[in-house]
Structure 1
Amino acid sequence: MDYLSPRDGGGHGTHTASTAAGYFVEKANYGGLAAGVARGGAPLACLAIYKACWSMDTGGCTDADVLKAFDKAIHDGVDVLSLSIGSGIPLRSYADQRDSIAIGSFHATTKGIVVVCSAGNDGPFSQTIANTAPWLITVAATTIDRAFPTAIILGNNHTLMGQSIDTGKRKKGFTDLTYSERIAVDSTDDSAKYCQFGSLNATLAAGKIVLCFSTSDKQNMFYASIAVANAGGVGLIYAQLRDNQLESCDVIPCVKVDYEVGSQILSYIRKARSPTVKLSFPKTVIGKWPSPRVAYFSSRGPSSISPTVLKPDIAAPGVSILAAYPPVALIKSVHQDWSPAAIRSALVTTASQTGTDGMDITEEGSTRKAADPFDIGGGHVNPNKAVNPGLIYNTSTEDYIQFLCSMGHSTLSIGRLTSTAINCMKNRNFGLNLNLPSITISNLKKTATVTRTVTNVGRVDSVYKVLVQAPYGVQMVVEPQILCFNLTTRVIPFKVTFFSTQKMHGDYQFGSLIWTDGEHFVRSPISIRVIKFDSYADV
């Protein structure tokens, strides 16, 4: 349902607006869970909200509405724009008139407006990231250290733990427990295993808590709960891959578990003559789980359309959030004269790669692994450090135009995007040399040299030395290795030459380049793929 007015019918816009700049709310909670003071990232900021998407049958976000919202925001003089929308694969060219986000954000950026976009929800698969234009700040989603453990007490007094945010009424004491395949309408139909609608026998399901296993992306816990409730069930235990997302089932209490816990419950059901279970109410627990972790659903890089531009740029909390703290508005309030590129640089180069447990940040995928730049970009945002980054990598509008030229776009198509006359320089390496706070080379054969320029925004007479962690199979040489700044020298270029030592066609390897004066550690993530075959598809 939606309204033919600025009113929010779906709730997504209201949620993201409160995340950005919601004011302090005492005793905020979700059904009694996660109670505390909630606030947005910049609670004293003024909000301007532009409705560009609709929840009606013919809804979505039309290009016309999105561009109109950009135009209004630019006219109104906003400082920061946040867009939690995006398109899926295949991505359109940045100069394509149908990519309204790339076009609108380009014009906003030229006016000094910082544009922040979500990475997308198509993870954990490689090359699924959206909003990859280099003038955008693209943000991956991570977890926080809050969980909602729920005790599952089996009839043999063995207690297992799941998670739930359902706090509604539930039966006191023990309730009959069954496995969905045991109560299938058709024993030869596998759809009962993951509780598809209409697959469960109402006579056998009535009054019971049902264990279901999700084995595909065609079903989720919410729709499984509807199927169980429709068959007369009174509760659901849902076993599935770890995906970080908790949804409320509303109709019946639901508890999410992983396959290991689900298998233990199933083993009990098969052994017990009359299996029973009791579902406790969920609790809020903070600080007992390592965080952040990259959310399962968060789209991953590299960019499928411009692999020399590292995406995402950074990662920030995006799972089970009442309100979060995207720090862009805070940095803009402290450094009002900084360009969008400078703010993006500060965020990327000061981000953290370490979790609360002191270990590398991990990512939730088919298996847990250390997160790499295609999961988290520069790392997890650190607002306090981003305000004082020491050095920044700045990028001009002309730089972005030459980047588009290097991608092979015609001057006509780029001119339509920029609304200006275009003069493309004959520099095929501009894609590599775009002054980003990261370095990505998708096709290193033998050697490649990349140039970057840093601007000192710290102490006037700072001296920075370089620290290098080269990707596996690659040697790096940085020139110069020391940067000396003073009153007259605030901007210094440097170059990095990469040499491949591999003899085989490889996959991406990762490293970093850090400039430090002893106080600041200005870190650029590095992603290199050594190739022996041009345009080879790793499938």
Structure 2
Amino acid sequence: MTSLIQQYQSSRKSTFSMKGNTVFFFLCALFILQESRAAHNNGVYIVYMGAADSRNGSLRDHHVQLMNSVLKRKENALVHTYKHGFSGFAATMSEEDARSIAQKPGVVSVFPDPLLELHTTRSWDFLKYQTAVEIDSQPKSDSEPSSPGSDTIIGILDTGIWPESESFNDKGMDPIPSRWKGKCMEANDFSTSNCNRKLIGARFYNQSDITFSKLHTPRDTIGHGTHVASTAAGSTVASASYYGLAAGTAKSGSPSSRIAVYRVCSLNGCRGSSILAAFDDAIKDGVDVLSLSLGAPSVLEIGLESDPIAIGSFHAVDNGIIVVCSAGNDGPTSGSVVNVAPWILTVAASTIDRDFQSNVVLGEKNEVIKGEGINFSPLEKSAVYPLIYAKSAKKSGASEDEARNCDPDSMDGGLIKGKIVICDTGDSGYSVRDKIDVVKAVGAIGIAVIDDTLNAVASTYGAFPATVISSKGAAEIFSYLNSTGNPVATILATVSVTKYTPAPAIAYFSSRGPSYYTRNVLKPDISAPGVDILAAWIANDTSEAPKGKEPPLFNVLSGTSMACPHVSGIAASVKARNPTWSPSAIRSAIMTSATQTNNLKAPIRTDSGSIATPYDYGAGEVTTSEPLQPGLVYETSTIDYLNYLCYSGRTTSAIVGIVKTVPDGFACPKDSNSDYISNINYPSIAISKFNGKDNKNVSRTVTNVAGDGVSVYTVSVDAPGGVNVKVIPEKLQFTKNNEKLSYQVVFSSSSATQLKEDVFGSITWSNGKYKVRSPFVLSSKSSDE
């Protein structure tokens, strides 16, 4: 019989369910999913029992009885209970017990405890430059502690926090909002005094697997959570830098917001049972925004019923909390985006207009070849050091491929010693850091690695002269090597280059759409800066310190992990200005006000140079001011999410068990199929099975939030070749604030030819003051392809 774990790995919708109804770049290398069975399942299963309803005493008693029945076996042990935002528990148990519990009344699903992975001075200034609209009646600067954002609380689910960082000082902040119900948990290295009016809450969740690091403290010993928290809501810090690089004032998306930290991750990853416990607590604590720079590896394609983030975020949104998640770092592979549930705001990563250059200088003419990387090279600025291509130093018994790629034990140290080495990337799996170790071991004094993808993201190499060059730059180096019998070069120490063009570009590592779960919801939703981001760091990390230097107070990281908190901070600012808005209204404001142009006023491109599409960046690059007053918003209601579950194959009875409050008389439509997912009131439009023969008709409803009362919006359409798009009506005439008006969009083909590839366009409503843009994608493939 196939084990539960094998089922979980082999199917994106693998789960147990009542009555058969199935209801982070930089650090990602450290947080990979372990290949062993123990890592996939630590013996813990999550029993999900839907919404918590404090009014239903008999149901609550039933949950307790079920949990107690599980624990009767001596080998079973309770890990977490969930009772605030949703109901259920996590416990160690056998597969047999899990199968038995899955059949009990009231159980929505039972699944193995998954291991998820963790997927700024300049970035906020850059986003400000990209903003094109001035907002009326702008609130006070976010640097002023009395701004409305001071009552907004951002919850961070991550590796914890380094509370002593200057980014978390509470100077001048108002008292903690009285509605806050959270706590500051104590540990050997963390006391209640570490919390303040900025860092108002800190919790940790012990991992149940003995093979994992225990999380007996909210203190961040990894750095990821500290970096993320300071990007979203850190206090403004002057004279921040990474050893002089990226110098400036460190800012965040919402400097006056409060931070609540939920440590759910260790060095080995993030357990799903802990993530669900953090969601449960955050709902009770009273956060406004939840930021998660983590998710499942894209290869697992976890179904919604087995995904702790999808489950927890559903109930968070149902309780008025907007949930922002990273899209994953498995790009540029198509269909690699994760955190794809429609109630999540999913964030891709883009570059900013700052570049960390460590250039190679060739020969007596000092020809400069652009390189990328952070190093503090002690070499002379003049080209005086011997230069060699690694292949030319091939060791006897090694292959040419092994030598040119600088694989271990492939080069003759006598030919390498005292020289700068040029290495290819290859596909042997060795990283740049591995190659550095190899060439250092045989006496090299510097290294330049050829890689067209890594050349766009700066990694940190310490004092060793190391840089990454493009294949174009490599061609120039090879030409020079072939032209002289005494090639010389040097590698320069890194310098920060600002106003770099073009920017933004979508980072190569950023996960791409379409969603593996359904082609009828466009994912990712938005892009934000996620490359070379400077933010706060843990103060005891000697591994990042150059020789003779103290540990850095700030560090430079890249990944969708860094993009996510940018959007979380903006979401908090929108919430502060519009405190009554729903999570979907805030998401809509962020998406419909995005930009699709770079700082050259040209279309945003990918890292490879191609024009970016909504599969790369969703609605586009986030802006900072426009979301505060978007004009119109698309509100995705509870009914939309219920219908989404219906259209995805759930029954009414299964859905009733999930949702806290089901509208009276709700039932899944009799004609439910995945095509109808396109009709949920989402700020973007995605349609599958567009075959060139049948028209596709979708509807949307917008709400007037501009405060202008009477206003007329006119539609404009950007349609791809071969596609006709008709919007009915073409004008929306609002007579009052908060009025809702609906429209239809009819997509048809101008020929009978089926699409050969997915195509993209947009629909924009404008009243002369606001532009409200929705991207759309049309695919000839079905939702299951």
TM-score (norm 2): 0.65
> Matched residues in 2 for 1:114 and 1:217: separation?
42
Aligned to 2:448: 237
- Partner amino acid, structure 2, of 1:280: L
Are 2:283 and 1:39 equivalent residues in the alignment?
no
> Matched residues in 2 for 1:283 and 1:492: separation?
53
The offset of 1:187, in angstroms, is 4.2
Q: 1:463 aligns with which of 712, 717, 735?
A: 712
Q: 2:324 aligns with which of 116, 139, 145?
A: 116
- Partner amino acid, structure 2, of 1:318: G
The offset of 1:202, in angstroms, is 2.5
Contact preservation (8 Å) 2:465, 2:492: no
The offset of 1:417, in angstroms, is 3.9
- Partner amino acid, structure 2, of 1:507: E
Aligned to 2:436: 225
- Partner amino acid, structure 1, of 2:369: L
SS at match of 1:104: helix
The Cα offsets for residues 304-324 of structure 1, whole Å up to 9 and x where unpaired, read as 111111111111100000147
SS at match of 1:347: helix
Are 2:265 and 1:53 equivalent residues in the alignment?
yes
Alignment of 1:44-443 (within 5 A): 44-55=256-267, 59-87=268-296, 88-94=298-304, 96=305, 98-157=306-365, 158-170=367-379, 173=382, 174-185=384-395, 186-216=397-427, 218-243=429-454, 244-250=456-462, 252-323=464-535, 325-326=566-567, 327-365=570-608, 368-411=609-652, 413-418=654-659, 423-428=667-672, 429-443=675-689
Name whichever of 272-281 and 307-316 sits farther off. 272-281
> Matched residues in 2 for 1:536 and 1:457: separation?
37
> Matched residues in 2 for 1:28 and 1:489: separation?
43
Name whichever of 263-272 and 352-361 sits farther off. 263-272
- Partner amino acid, structure 2, of 1:273: G
> Matched residues in 2 for 1:536 and 1:32: separation?
50
- Partner amino acid, structure 2, of 1:385: E
Indicate how the Cα distance of structure 1 residues 348 and 254 shifts in structure 2: closer, same or farther if over 3 A, else same. same
Aligned to 1:523: 773
The offset of 1:338, in angstroms, is 0.7
> Matched residues in 1 for 2:368 and 2:775: separation?
44
What is the percent sequence identity of the aligned residues? 40
Contact preservation (8 Å) 1:352, 1:381: yes
Aligned to 1:487: 736
- Partner amino acid, structure 1, of 2:683: P
SS at match of 1:67: helix
SS at match of 1:444: coil
The offset of 1:49, in angstroms, is 0.9
> Matched residues in 2 for 1:382 and 1:523: separation?
13
Indicate how the Cα distance of structure 1 residues 153 and 465 shifts in structure 2: closer, same or farther if over 3 A, else same. same
The offset of 1:530, in angstroms, is 3.7
The Cα offsets for residues 76-118 of structure 1, whole Å up to 9 and x where unpaired, read as 1111111111111242221x2x200000110110111110011
Contact preservation (8 Å) 2:584, 2:635: yes
> Matched residues in 1 for 2:263 and 2:657: separation?
25
Indicate how the Cα distance of structure 1 residues 418 and 170 shifts in structure 2: closer, same or farther if over 3 A, else same. farther
Contact preservation (8 Å) 2:688, 2:783: no
Contact preservation (8 Å) 2:329, 2:509: yes
SS at match of 2:284: helix
Alignment of 1:466-477 (within 5 A): 466-477=715-726
Name whichever of 85-94 and 242-251 sits farther off. 242-251
- Partner amino acid, structure 1, of 2:425: S
Indicate how the Cα distance of structure 1 residues 417 and 536 shifts in structure 2: closer, same or farther if over 3 A, else same. closer
> Matched residues in 1 for 2:737 and 2:616: separation?
39
> Matched residues in 2 for 1:137 and 1:170: separation?
46
Contact preservation (8 Å) 2:349, 2:530: yes
> Matched residues in 1 for 2:769 and 2:224: separation?
40
Please tell me the root mean square deviation across aligned C-alpha atoms, in Å. Answer: 2.1
- Partner amino acid, structure 2, of 1:115: V
The offset of 1:172, in angstroms, is 6.4
The offset of 1:472, in angstroms, is 2.2
> Matched residues in 2 for 1:220 and 1:298: separation?
18
TM-score (norm 1): 0.93
The offset of 1:415, in angstroms, is 4.5
SS at match of 1:512: strand
> Matched residues in 1 for 2:653 and 2:403: separation?
56
Task: Give unpaired runs (5+ residues) of structure 1.
Answer: none
Contact preservation (8 Å) 1:31, 1:167: no
Contact preservation (8 Å) 2:652, 2:667: yes
SS at match of 2:478: helix
SS at match of 1:195: coil
Contact preservation (8 Å) 1:466, 1:514: yes
SS at match of 2:521: coil
Matched pairs, number: 528
Contact preservation (8 Å) 2:373, 2:461: no
> Matched residues in 1 for 2:261 and 2:235: separation?
15
Name whichever of 169-178 and 240-249 sits farther off. 169-178
- Partner amino acid, structure 2, of 1:63: G
SS at match of 2:369: strand
The Cα offsets for residues 26-74 of structure 1, whole Å up to 9 and x where unpaired, read as 111112111111121111111111111111xxx3111101101111211
Name whichever of 194-203 and 225-234 sits farther off. 194-203
> Matched residues in 1 for 2:300 and 2:373: separation?
35
Q: 2:233 aligns with which of 21, 29, 49?
A: 21
Contact preservation (8 Å) 1:27, 1:37: yes
Which consecutive segments of 4 or more residues in structure 1 shift more than 4 A?
419-422, 534-537
Indicate how the Cα distance of structure 1 residues 270 and 518 shifts in structure 2: closer, same or farther if over 3 A, else same. same
- Partner amino acid, structure 2, of 1:101: I
> Matched residues in 2 for 1:249 and 1:10: separation?
18
Name whichever of 130-139 and 181-190 sits farther off. 181-190
The Cα offsets for residues 199-255 of structure 1, whole Å up to 9 and x where unpaired, read as 333232222111101133723322211111122211111111134221112262111
Indicate how the Cα distance of structure 1 residues 175 and 496 shifts in structure 2: closer, same or farther if over 3 A, else same. same
